[in-house]
């Protein structure tokens, strides 16, 4: 199958974590299993059939507490779309599904390294993210 795009560039735009003190760190160690991974994808058309895609990963505690650690990765990918692609739904699938499937293993590795280097070595993201299913759910909601 021919790819409908080419990745021209990709880079970490921002990588951050915040644990305010030792007490918070110790608390979070006990409750980090309840933290949720969130993914947000935004795109912006550029010139010459290029698109800038920002993928934001955040790992947070959904509970309301004063003792929280915060982890976030903002990753930018610049792609060039093949000349024959003009359909909006096809572009959406490329941005939300195809590119994400290609870059996510790298993002996951970068993000897990951040979390592990912050002292939470036992954190894993074992559940696979099925970008095709997420895309299809989004399309079917409309």
CA triplet 73, 79, 82: central angle to 5 degrees? 155
Q: Which residues share a beta bridge with 100?
A: none
Q: DSSP letters along 56-86, please?
A: EEEEE--S--S--EEEEEEEEEEEEE-TT--
pLDDT band at 135 (very low <50, low <70, confident <90, very high): confident
- If pLDDT is split at 50, 70 and 90, which confidence band does 136 have? confident
Confidence at residue 141, expressed as pLDDT on a 0 to 100 scale: 76
Which single residue is written with the structure tokens 């909006």? 88
Give the model's confidence band at 84: pLDDT under 50 very low, under 70 low, under 90 confident, else very high: confident
- For the chain, how far is it from start to end, CA to CA, in angstroms? 28
Q: d(Cα 13, Cα 17) in Å, to the nearest integer?
A: 14
Domains of the chain listed by start with CATH number: 5-141 (3.10.420.10)
Enter the pTM of the model. Answer: 0.88
pLDDT of 134 over the 60 cut: yes
Under 8 Å CB-to-CB from 19, ≥6 apart: which residues?
A: 25, 28, 69, 70, 118, 119
Segment 65-83 mean pLDDT? 94
């Amino acid at each position: 199958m021919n790819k409908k795009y080419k990745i021209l560039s990709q880079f970490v735009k921002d990588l951050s974590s915040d644990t305010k003190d030792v007490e918070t760190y110790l608390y979070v160690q006990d409750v980090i299993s309840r933290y949720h991974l969130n993914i947000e994808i935004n795109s912006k058309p550029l010139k010459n059939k290029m698109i800038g895609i920002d993928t934001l990963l955040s790992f947070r505690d959904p509970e309301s507490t004063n003792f929280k650690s915060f982890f976030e990765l903002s990753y930018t990918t610049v792609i060039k779309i093949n000349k024959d692609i003009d359909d909006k739904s096809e572009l959406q699938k490329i941005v939300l599904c195809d590119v994400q499937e290609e870059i996510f293993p790298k993002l996951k590795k970068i993000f897990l390294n951040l979390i592990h280097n912050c002292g939470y070595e036992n954190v894993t993201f074992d559940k696979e993210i099925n970008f095709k299913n997420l895309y299809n759910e989004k399309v079917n909601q409309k």
